Structure 1
């Protein structure tokens, strides 16, 4: 997956990689609650702090959903409707689940040398792979190209009467950053003898999404009604920061209801 660098980062360890604000970073592996992701920048692979980047939003990226959950989502969808998910049998790898109309098929995405492939064609990122198979058949037994699911009239009607107005409407990501709503987080620690930082011993704060929140800004956290959000920073009155579906970003607190422990 591709991500946008929200802040510049200077590596303090040989296993980390530096980047500049605005760089597009290729994320190759994510781990929940680690604070770090494995990424690739200009052919160099290493760790980058998850809180410094924002995954570019794509409706087809489902994060960590199981094979069964993917089949339930895609069952009886039109042929070609798909989602890309993190493989449950091979952590750090990805699979494409695809509707054939009468069934759901799964394609393992192979990775090697920073290139991704399903068949012979190789691509520098998952985004490029997806775009290629939108115009070329991903199936070999019939012609099926990847396509997004049709928009749901029910969801559209719900968003039309959304009782929670978007306080950031008309604001750009740059204006949010300059306004100080989202300041650079502290440099997270990473154990030198560990593959990734072990989760901190803390009580997780969770929230329940009251309705969909899908703004165009990449610095924002996109979520759907009913999603469970891991609250990372609730100190601001205008914007909170949280994690949902493998992404980290900011969102208006009016859209969620914190869960009591």
Structure 2
């Protein structure tokens, strides 16, 4: 996975690597509940702080492609070729469309509390779900493992919105340059060869909804794209607690963008 450096970083430990703002960094590992990525830069591998980077959208994320368009794109592709798209029937959620060679199957990605699943196994992000089904069959009646689509532009007619927004930039790719003008966030502390839970860089009190979130769980907070949410508790990396339209509930943090004062 590639990322763009929003800020320059000077390594302070032997197992960290330095980079300059604007550099393209290859992220090779993202540990759960950690503020450090394992990355590779010019053949050297080491730890880099997560909050200094902006993850680029995956090639397999097709954005607002419809079910019919997905079938037209994937039909007769090699078995396992896939794309992830925004769900038509459940706004704010995702569907995974997979070529079976002679037909296309669609899987709804269920989400709750920041966890994503198709069957009984849950994952903390879409990319972890995709990576799992690259080595495990997503089908029950036959073996179908996900594989990257060909580099043909016909497979992706619409650039997808990044499902992993960075709090230091807007959802627009063009605003990366403005994000670089911000002061670097506090560098997370770590012991050599040990990654620690991500500290709070600032204490934002508000968040902006990037899309609709209408879960069936009564404990979850319902909101619409564009709503401003009062943040009450952001201590859990998988689900935050907030207030919107007079209601209080939890919601996945990837659905909002933090608003800093």
State the TM bucket, normalised to the shorter chain.
Answer: 0.3 to 0.5
**Alignment TM-score, normalising by the size of structure 1:** 0.44
The two structures have a TM-score, normalised by structure 2, of 0.44
